[in-house]
Amino acid sequence: MTDLLDDFLIRATLAGIGVALAAAPLGCFIVWRRMAYFGDATAHAAILGVALALAFNLSIMLGTLVMALAMALAVSGLSGRGRAMDTMLGVLSHSALAAGLVAVSLLQGVRLDLSAYLFGDILAVGRSDLAVIWGGAALVIGLIWARWSALLTATLSEDLATAAGIDPRREQLILTLALAIVVAVAIKVVGVLLIAALLIIPAAAARNFARTPEAMALIAAGFGAVAALGGMAVAWNFDTPAGPSIVCVAAVIFAASTLSGLARRAS
């Protein structure tokens, strides 16, 4: 196993699969709640977290986790206060990204490859990064597994959840925490601009084949893992950027899933 992990391509592939497995079930809840922009806003805040981490000499992972969590909590707190949710998320998402890019440009004496954070640098994943990614993935999967029934009920109907003794706000906070963790561990794999795609596309593709919520989460995890493997194969054979290649393979899976669904409905 040690010899295998010395191969950068093996480490990169395992990192992609780890992120995909964590993102898939969480992405299902984002799709069910119609909160695609929620993932974007949280991911874009990570760039500001990178700038703050560098400014205060902190861990990049810690900086991105704190800012992603702060943005997710801000969005959760502002939701349901009379503003159009999609408009508010769009404003917060792009404002956070712009603020992060400006903050990075103001750092003195720091040389930073922004493209690695915007689009990912999966081929540079080391053993410690791999441990953090799989540890974060295990934490997210554990959170969702433990709260699956409550999360599902709160997603279906807040009134039904309240009647069943479930606090919808608490379940929202659990999703918020899980999303922040996924953003923090995924930034090195696909970058902030593509994290939302990895959350949403496999879940959306799985919807055409699933008969139950549990099946959709499992199928989404499978599609995410296939996208990670396929994207790495494309990147290796055609010398393309690995993160965007993973998302492109996921998009192909979604297109095939959509066509298959249309064919089944037409027959």
> Is the Cβ–Cβ distance between 73 and 41 less than 8 Å?
no
Q: Cβ distance 134 to 204 under 8 Å?
A: no
Give the CATH superfamily of 2-194. ABC transporter involved in vitamin B12 uptake, BtuC (1.10.3470.10)
DSSP state of 122: G
What was the pLDDT predicted at 1? Answer: 47
Give residue-wise pLDDT tens across range 48-88.
Answer: 888 888 888 888 888 888 998 888 788 777 765 555 666 77
Query: What pLDDT is stored for residue 41 in this prediction?
Result: 82
Distance of alpha carbon 89 from the chain centroid? 16
pLDDT of residue 143: 92
At residue 193, the pLDDT reads 83
Buried b (16+ CB within 10 A) or exposed e, 107-144: eeeeeeeeebbbbbbbbebeeebbebbbebbebbbebb
The domain limits of the chain are 2-194
